[in-house]
Chain A
């Protein structure tokens, strides 16, 4: 599983440059570079956009265009836990909206937001592909299925109790 480890430190040119050099041997490397930047920092820091541009000879505006085109990239840091709420067809039919509502109530953040205490970022995703377990969410890379509003509360409180720095995605 691809694990995106949360680095709390500030983005550094050394790290960004190393990522660029690792991928820049192949053509069309800018997307893999951005993916690894996000794996490293949990988001795309604005400073990285300029640095990648300088390194790869691509205008920063073009990279910004790529970042905003693809749904995977975020320009804001995320909280300690990342919850993706599935809104696929099967989940929609089995009440994904209610799950989202219960989740918002439990963590204090709507979809697209991070809770004020920085504990949870909630994202809305199109489909996690676990349709037979609908409705489902993904918490830090792990799918939880056949959910009820009560199960959501349990998952959230378990995550709150876990003190370790959590891998996400």
Chain B
């Protein structure tokens, strides 16, 4: 979030519009077009640029306006209609439209606890411009590597940095590279795992959409280190913009001689192809991912042999996650010691999180390892958006767990997270307030993993289904004595008897909620109550006669025609017909519908 050197040199006003997926979804392109038209019509000499994710997703559409002589100003929730005033008052008149500007102390608060290494260029450069990347010091690391370092020296540097795999498993990256380097073989592969499948996670998407070259450069360095000449980026088909920007970046890198034969004139060849995932969560597991690239059903296989010995088409292969690779150029360029000053003894560096859910200030953040959850949730995230009490965070998606507010002072590092029963995971961090029912959340994740189980291991295939049936029963008000013990027994079985990470971690959301919120399960079972008022079978909707003006809006939206009444008189819900979907409550503007 600053002006690049090149922008300053030009002596122009610079306007940047955040056009990653979130910005576009919020209407960013229309804002960009409005600026473009207006600047042209007025003949203004300002540079209009697109950029990626600025990290403050809760403010989309975001526009950064930088005068030639002073620091940038950020506008939030910008609509095309506001563009004329911004141009008129700020660019021409010289005075920012203060009521739309994000206060600088808010930005300072957001950034105070962050350290942006992976996200160093995100929201700053134009992701579709290799020149922007080069101006920001891009491809300097691969140049340094090819010019000065042997493959072993590269591996030693990465090992020294303490970088661990950011996909979730946390295996030391340098050690992994060392295994692949030692494997004999003329043909070796580098794979970038961009199959970001956790619901609630968007770190890799944002990096690919905002700074694709950093990932490509990371792959180049990895390829040189292990001796690979071919690379694949396996990216979700659900990320069309990331794919598009990667394709542009690859073509540019090829044209400039960073990929292809004899990279930068050195005796090093490297080519990269993109493979689109086809919508299978399990393909985030490395052996399944390789099966998928080979054109087969993505089913994990037994390890050993590890991919480093026998991977893609039986050749030595190294697989790293997007965030891991995006770290590499920075580490090589600045040195391992500049990286490992951040973090804790065993978890070095920084971690990117997708802060979402009920966080007041959700977005893409990068923090030094060892920061506490409280600092993230309150310091950066600003507490809950609803004003309700902070209840828990969910870390690591369906493989992770739920950490209660009482443990908010836990430091965020691999070991402390594992101790809580959750995992560091790939970076999904969902903030939950009192309105979240923990049994429902556990059911939500288990439903996901049950559906995504590839079916190879019996415990994962059937065990998760039996667990889901119990959870369904409990949320349906039919839970019985002994259900929780059975649930726990099954969960432990699934963990022990599954081959891959999907099955081994699938019970985590259930186990952590059982550990920290057992009373909530018990209330569902014994009192037939859902305190968060989420489980449909256990709640009742009612219209408060004193508040209902009889507008009939709720009746219009009721899918089962359960609401009736005379206009201008209080309406009434027929509880026999009501399916408790809550649509009426969502649409009523007067708060005339209560749930108990």
Contact = CB atoms under 8 A, between A and B. Distances in A.
Interface of A: 1-2, 26-32, 34-35, 65-66, 69-73, 87-90, 92-93, 95, 97-98, 101-102, 104-105, 125-134, 136, 141-146, 148-150, 169
A129 B430 contact: no
B278 A131 contact: no
Contacts of B201: 127, 129, 131
Given A129-B238, A150-B587, A98 B279 contact: no
B24 interface: yes
B363 interface: yes
B545 interface: no
Interface stretch (B249-257, B518-526, B578-586): B578-586
A130 to B, nearest CB: 5
Nearest to A65: B297
Contact of B199 (A35, A88, A97, A169): A88
Interface in B315-371: 354, 356-358, 362-363
A129 B586 contact: no
A149 B351 CA distance: 36
Contacts of B293: 28
Contact of A129 (B196, B244, B435): B196
A111 B202 CA distance: 24
B587 A149 contact: yes
A83 to B, nearest CB: 14
Interface string B171-213: 0000000000000000000000000111111100100000000
A105 B556 CA distance: 10
Contact of A71 (B278, B432, B444): B278
Given A35-B278, A148-B587, A149-B587, A89 B25 contact: no
Interface SS majority for chain B:
mixed
19 contacts: A2-B240, A2-B243, A27-B294, A32-B275, A35-B237, A66-B295, A71-B279, A72-B237, A88-B199, A90-B200, A90-B357, A90-B362, A98-B581, A105-B583, A126-B281, A127-B200, A129-B202, A131-B202, A132-B362
Contacts of A73: 278-279
A150 B556 CA distance: 11
B94 to A, nearest CB: 32
B238 A125 contact: yes
A73 B278 CA distance: 7
A132 B363 contact: yes
Interface string B414-450: 0000000000000010101001100001001100100
Nearest to A70: B278
Given A69-B280, A102-B583, A132-B60, 10 more contacts: A28-B294, A31-B295, A66-B295, A73-B279, A90-B356, A90-B357, A93-B432, A93-B435, A127-B198, A149-B557
Interface of B: 21-22, 24-26, 57-58, 60, 196-202, 205, 237-241, 243-244, 273, 275-281, 292-298, 313, 354, 356-358, 362-363, 394, 397, 428, 430, 432, 435-436, 441, 444-445, 448, 452, 454, 557, 559, 581-583, 586-587
Contact of A132 (B58, B237, B280): B58
Contacts of A72: 237, 277-279
Contact of B428 (A29, A89, A141, A143): A89
A131 B202 CA distance: 8
B430 A89 contact: yes
Nearest to B430: A89
